[in-house]
Amino acid sequence: MQEFSIQELQTKMETGELTSRQITEMYLGRIEAVDSSGPTVNAVMEINPDAVEVAAELDAERAAGNIRGPLHGIPVMLKDNIDTADKMMTTAGSLALDGHIAAQDSFVAQKLRQAGAVILAKANLSEWANFRSTRSVSGWSSRGGQTRNPYVLNRNPCGSSSGSAAAVAANLCAAAIGTETSGSIICPAQANSLAALKPTVGLVGRSGVIPISHTQDTAGPMARSVADLAVTLGALTGIDPRDPVTNESQGRALVDYCASLDPGGLQGARIGVARNFFGFHPGVDAIMEESLQAMKAHGAEIIDPVDLTLDELGPNMVEVLLYEFKADLNAYLQTTGPAMPARTLEEIIAYNSKHAAKIMPFFGQERMELAQEKGPLSDQAYLDALAACKKMARQDGIDKLIKEHNLDAIAAPSGGPAWLIDPVNGDHYGGGSSGVPAAAGYPNLTVPAGYVYGLPVGINFIGGAYQEAKLIRIAYAFEQASKVRRPPQFLESAFIE
């Protein structure tokens, strides 16, 4: 099946060449061919049984002259930690939540439906958004099994938005929504050669998303191009009555980011180079150098280096996440209904232990157990760690660099080439630069930059709070200048030519 951009699909619907129903059926056929049989990417957790019917209803609206916007009739996929009040479950990949049907749409699902998108399916993920174990295998969940990287099938798709990324890369949908606490949008996007955005915390409402941290969690778009990312992002913004942090986006959020799609957007842009994130792989470094030269050739001013080293950030961030995971997950679980077998973190831990053969065949639940030991959010240890994180990542980190060097963005490698899927030893991360913007709650956009032995590599553009439009402009211009992305070939293993 040919890859189509969102705009190309819209044009085909406008001209009558295709209907939303036909497009939806095409993607469902693609899922059957690529995800359920053949190479078996295993990105899809559950198909929406009403998807074709919803598409037909949207076709009727179009025929009556009612077009809701640029996502009208476009099939998208949601990560399986995002509530949908339909016939699909929301489980975070865990058998402990098997059977959970949300009583109310998440803000994200509500906004997508309002925009006319067809919610095609739920995507597999790293179980509990990769906050169960200290030695997990990204892309694996007890409910969904192991997602594979469509570029090289024995390689890991990264996580925790593993299925969302692999599904878009494998052309199983037009775009997908992932979630990130620290790297969970950026890492799988770069490992699957996608453009993706981790927005400012507060730009996209989090109600109805199974949480880790109210300080760092956010949903964000994942797509094959920056243009598709921009279209999808515009449908997600707005004030969420159940998420007070979104009040901060008033007057700062846009409903249309497409004005930033300027191929000359690098001209005059000041981009700092965070050299402290280089050096973990020579192939990645070479691609980064080529990317910096390309940006310079297209008018960017490269400020090299700028230092974003924050050695003490990690331990403080872990402390914050452990405290908030316990408090926030317990609050969410109370919305799941009394019939669920586990409705507190303590009960989830007990359920996992009781069903360890199915839920914990490869790795345990150390992070959950550490979180359960934490006290309330009034504990001084939590308050001190939270204050330290914000100061280091914001005032002494991103804000300081942007102000000192008058930067439009900070560039850094998104990560290393995808590692082998290894349930025995767990993940083998090769590097990355997502931690600081995650702790700051600031936007981070990755775009394909090249390939190392056929394995995708991305470049990050990090910005200040609510600077998504600026990052989209820079990333789009870089994407148009480099044009490096190529579709996956579903290779059985990486090879050296």
Calpha distance 101→98 (Å, rounded): 9
CA-based end-to-end distance of the chain = 27
Closest Cα partner for 141 from 185, 194, 103, 96?
96
pLDDT at 309: 87
Read out DSSP for 30-64? HIIIIISSTT----EEEE-TTHHHHHHHHHHHHHT
Please state the φ and ψ torsions of residue 90, each to the nearest 5 degrees. Answer: -130, 110
The pLDDT mean for the chain works out to: 97
Per annotation, catalytic residue among 162, 184, 260, 434 = 184
> pLDDT tens for residues 35-94?
987 779 999 999 999 999 999 999 999 999 999 999 999 999 999 999 999 999 999 999
- Residue in the structure block whose two tokens are 């390689």: 155
**Cis peptide bond prior to 443, omega within 30° of 0:** no
Least confidently predicted of 139-148, 289-298, 303-312, 347-356: 303-312
Strand partners for 140:
146
Confidence of residue 495 (pLDDT cuts 50, 70, 90): low
CA-CA distance, 338 to 260, in Å (whole number)?
47
**Which residue type occupies 82?**
I
Q: How many CB atoms lie within 10 A of CB 251?
A: 6
Joined together, the tokens standing for residue 19 give 């209907």
Question: C-alpha 477: how far from its chain's center?
Answer: 21
Q: CATH top-level class for 6-482?
A: alpha beta
| C-beta atoms surrounding 322 within 10 Å | 21
pLDDT digits (tens, 9 = 90+) for 304-336: 999 998 889 999 999 999 999 999 999 999 999
160 is annotated as an active-site residue: yes
Task: Reply yes or no on whether the pLDDT at 463 is more than 50.
Answer: yes
| Kind plus residue range of the DSSP H or E element containing 413 | strand 409-413
361 pLDDT above the threshold of 70: yes
Sign of the torsion angle spanned by Cα atoms 155, 159, 162, 166: negative
Q: Judge whether 340 and 99 are in contact, CB under 8 Å.
A: yes
Q: Is the model's pLDDT at 204 over the cut of 90? A: yes
| pLDDT at site 497 | 45
Burial of 496 by CB count in 10 Å (0-12 exposed, 13-18 middle, 19+ buried)?
exposed
Catalytic: which of 79, 111, 374, 390? 79
The pLDDT of residue 371: 98
Q: Is the confidence at residue 218, as pLDDT, over 90? A: yes
And the tokens for 232? Answer: 């999808």
Is the pLDDT assigned to residue 175 strictly greater than 70? yes
Q: Does residue 160 have a cis peptide bond before it, meaning omega lies within 30 degrees of 0?
A: yes
Asked if the model's pLDDT at residue 127 lies above 80, the reply is yes
Average pLDDT, integer, range 446-461: 98
Mean pLDDT is lowest, of 37-41, 106-110, 227-231, 314-318, for 37-41
Rounded Cα distance between 462 and 280, Å, is: 19
In the three-class reduction of DSSP (H, G, I as helix; E, B as strand; rest coil), residue 342 is classed as: coil
Under 8 Å between Cβ of 471 and 424: no
Task: Say if residue 378 is exposed, middle or buried (CB neighbours under 10 Å; 0-12, 13-18, 19+).
Answer: exposed
pLDDT at 338: 87
Confidence at residue 474, expressed as pLDDT on a 0 to 100 scale:
99
- Which tokens in the block code for residue 305? 């280096």
- Report if pTM > 0.95: yes
Query: Given 3-state DSSP classes, what are the helix, strand and coil percentages for the chain, each rounded to the nearest 5?
Result: 40, 15, 45
Of 126, 160, 213, 249, which residue is the catalytic one?
A: 160
For residue 494, name the pLDDT band (cuts at 50, 70, 90): confident
Residue 94: phi, psi to the nearest 5?
Answer: -100, 135
**Domain-wise residue ranges, the chain:** 6-482
User: Which tens digits make up the pLDDT trace of 423-436?
Assistant: 999 999 989 999 99
How many alpha carbons lie under 13 Å from residue 17 in its C-beta half-sphere?
7
Distance in angstroms (rounded) separating the CA atoms of residues 268 and 70: 30
Which residue, chain included where needed, has tokens 């470049």? 459
DSSP letter, residue 80: T
